[in-house]
Chains A and B, each alone.
Chain A
Amino acid sequence: MTELLRANILADLAYYRRSRLLLAFMLLFLLLTALGSLPPLFGNSGVQNFNALHEIFSELNGFLLALCACLGLFIISSHLRNRSLKMVFTKPCPPAVWLLSAFLSAVIVSLLLIFVVLTSMTLLSLAWHVPVRPGLVFLSAETFVVSVGLIAYLMLLATVVHPAVAAICTLVFNAYLFYDAQLWTDAVIRSGNKSPWLRALKGLFHCLYLVLPMLSPFGKKTDEVHVSLRVMHGEWKYLLYSLGYALTLAAFCYCVSLFALQRRKHI
């Protein structure tokens, strides 16, 4: 089992290492950091430096999340579409192990990238004489937790549908869309429209909102950290709650993906 996990993870890491997508991300990362570093070179204000750092960090975290989602999507869809799984499943390597390896390798790469961003931000803080705030660690950890859930969710979608459909589902038909739709139907009902269809629609949107995974289920509780990069004592627990949510989501997605993979008529 360990040997199989190791072999699959090493192969997947080679896939990421040679992926042009990752290379493009690294170049983008360097470009963003370089561009973001330019204004503070001409100014000497601590506030200006903090704002620049904050902006770069937020942008990089956003990119990281998008990239981590792609890691999960690409690793599954590329193997399924290339039919290379024929070579894996005709060896004593069960789908459960292969899927776990794919998930773990994506998580490892995501962790590594988050660590690179965090280190860069810390170095930048030191270089610009901005105090290193614990919010950097908090938000990096939060990005990692969110990426764990996202990777698992995208892996599930890639197992059952075309990668383009999976991407559209994640970007468009997500929990936030149905939350907004639920608010909209609620507003229409409050304005006097008592149609039973509208009530049913509201119920449907509510169910979809509850069923679909959320990126940051405790986001409202930690909004302040995103703004100030300061972490209050009671805010760390939300990180733990988020981790619990992400792990539960990942376990559920893993089980459904495995079932879908095993039920595929053709590998």
Chain B
Amino acid sequence: MIVAENLHMHFRTGFLRREVHALSGLSLEVRDGDFFALVGQNGAGKSTAMYCFLGLLRPTSGKVKILGQTPELGCRLYEKVAYLPEEPHYHLYLTVEEATRYYAALYGKQVSNKTINDALERLGLAQFKNLPLSKCSKGMKQKVGIAQCLIHEPQVLFLDEPTRGLDPLAVREFRETLREIHQRGATIVMNSHVLSEIEMLANRVAIIESGKVVVQDELRNLLTLDRELYRVSFEANGQVPAYLTAVERVGNIVKGLLPKENLYDFMDLARSSGLHLHECSLKKTSLEDSFFKIVKGGESPAGSQEMRTMPAAAAHQG
């Protein structure tokens, strides 16, 4: 469906024309019917990769094929493709309705008023249809982008930070819409910092780091990376065993992660020293945990505040 082979993208920036490597041999494959998520830190190369997939950026070297064709600006291939950009790069002088109609008309087919009105109604934009885009909030502009994506029932959908700027209600509705489109057989490629959202929607994930795909796998495989760990919590009455990692102390309560190979040692210790055990459970891994483990080389302090806040902060930074 979508194949990228050894993509390299080099820019020259600044007065000294310093070379920046945005992509350094990125290769990935999106299969027909996938809900594929691109995950990575800011500047990892996710948006650059998406621009290359869409033909908006000509890679320095490497090949991209979508539905067997090389994407070129405005080619016939886009009859089956829809794209929702990260930044609201819309025609700001148009009103909400005009913009939706214009983007729909760019598919070269007549679009009925009913289709336009239905799309606007569905996204709660009907009452703002005469408002110029320049006066719309970021979320409203994003909804216009979503409306134009949905009108032609695309076969492949590229979403660059789709829920950025949307209110929680709109995020939920959008998620439902995406699920619906995916169930109808569309392939979706999404790029997002909101890992919890990806966990809810995607079936395959590629983690991009410094312009390369470091992991490309089924989401369920990524979620079981830490299956070998147990989360334990107990009242310490002596020394904490050395094999316990990510140790946190709250008063005399100790929380930590226990490797599977030390489980029986820990149980023996608990029995012999009469530890008051509060919890001992198989650790459920989130995509966030796996992401940190892969990107930071397993240095993740599991369940720490840093991990919990990172995606939100990243989403704000864009």
Query: Real complex partners, A and B?
Result: yes
A interface residues, Cβ below 8 angstroms from B: 1, 3-4, 6-8, 10-11, 14-15, 18-19, 82-84, 86-95, 97-98, 262, 265-267
- Chain A residues with Cβ below 8 Å from B148 are 87
Using a Cβ–Cβ cut-off of 8 Å, how many residues does chain B contribute to the interface with A? 36
17 contacts between A and B (CB under 8 A): A3-B108, A4-B106, A6-B105, A7-B105, A7-B106, A18-B132, A19-B93, A84-B91, A87-B85, A88-B74, A90-B78, A90-B83, A91-B74, A94-B73, A95-B74, A262-B73, A265-B57
State in angstroms the CA–CA spacing of A88 and B55 once bound together. 12
A15 touches B93 (CB 8 A): yes
CA distance A84 to B94 in the complex (A): 12
Is the pair B56, A266 in contact by a Cβ cutoff of 8 Å?
yes
Min C-beta distance of B109 to chain A, whole Å:
7
Per-residue contact bits, chain B 252-283, to A (CB 8 Å; 1 contact, 0 not): 00000000000000000000000000000000
Give chain A nearest CB distance to B156 CB in angstroms. 11
Please, which residues of chain B bring their CB within 8 A of the CB of A11? 91, 94, 98, 102
Asked if B94 and A14 make an inter-chain contact with CB atoms under 8 angstroms apart, the answer reads yes
Report if B188 contacts A (CB, 8 A): no
Are B89 and A86 within 8 A (Cβ)? Answer: yes
Contacts of A87 in B (CB 8 A): 85, 89-91, 103, 148
- B:54-94 near A, CB below 8 Å: 54-58, 73-79, 81-83, 85, 87, 89-94
B56 touches which one: A19, A82, A90, A92 (CB < 8 A)?
A90
The smallest beta-carbon distance between A136 and chain B, in angstroms, is 34
Q: Sort A-B residue pairs by CB-CB distance and give the 6 closest, nearest first.
A: A7-B105, A91-B106, A94-B74, A89-B73, A90-B83, A83-B89
- List chain A residues, Cβ under 8 A from B81: 90
Contacts of B91 in A (CB 8 A): 11, 15, 82, 84, 87
Complex Cα distance, B132 from A1, in Å, reads: 27
Assess the B93–A92 pair: CB atoms within 8 A: no
List chain B positions with a Cβ less than 8 A from chain A: 51, 54-58, 73-79, 81-83, 85, 87, 89-94, 98, 102-103, 105-110, 132, 148, 158
Instruction: Give which listed residue, A92, A95, A265, contacts B78 with CB less than 8 A.
Output: A92
Q: A4-B108, A88-B74, A93-B108 are in contact. Are A265 and B89 (CB under 8 A)?
A: no
Interchain CA distance A7-B105 in the complex, whole Å: 6
- Which partner residue on chain A sits nearest B85 by CB separation? A86
Residue pair A266, B79 in contact (C-beta under 8 Å)? no
Known: A87-B103, A89-B55, A267-B56. 15 other contacts (CB 8 A): A4-B105, A4-B106, A7-B106, A11-B91, A11-B102, A14-B93, A84-B90, A87-B90, A89-B73, A90-B55, A90-B74, A91-B74, A91-B78, A93-B106, A267-B73
CB within 8 A of B75: which of A88, A92, A98, A265?
Answer: A92
Residue of A nearest to B105 (CB): A7
> Once the chains bind, are B57 and A266 in contact (CB under 8 Å)?
yes
> A267–B51 Cα gap in the complex (Å)?
9
Write the chain A residue with the least CB distance to B56. Answer: A267
Q: How far is the CB of A204 from chain B (nearest CB, A)?
A: 29
Which residues of A have CB within 8 Å of B77?
A: 92
Q: How far is B51's CA from A95's CA once the two chains are assembled, in angstroms?
A: 17
Q: Is the CB of A265 within 8 A of B58?
A: yes
**Cβ of B158: which chain A residues have Cβ within 8 Å of it?**
90
- For the complex, give the distance between the alpha carbons of A89 and B77 in Å: 11
Q: Nearest Cβ distance between residue B78 and chain A, in whole angstroms? A: 5
A89: B residues at CB distance < 8 A: 55-56, 73-74
Output the nearest chain B residue to A18 by Cβ-Cβ distance. B93
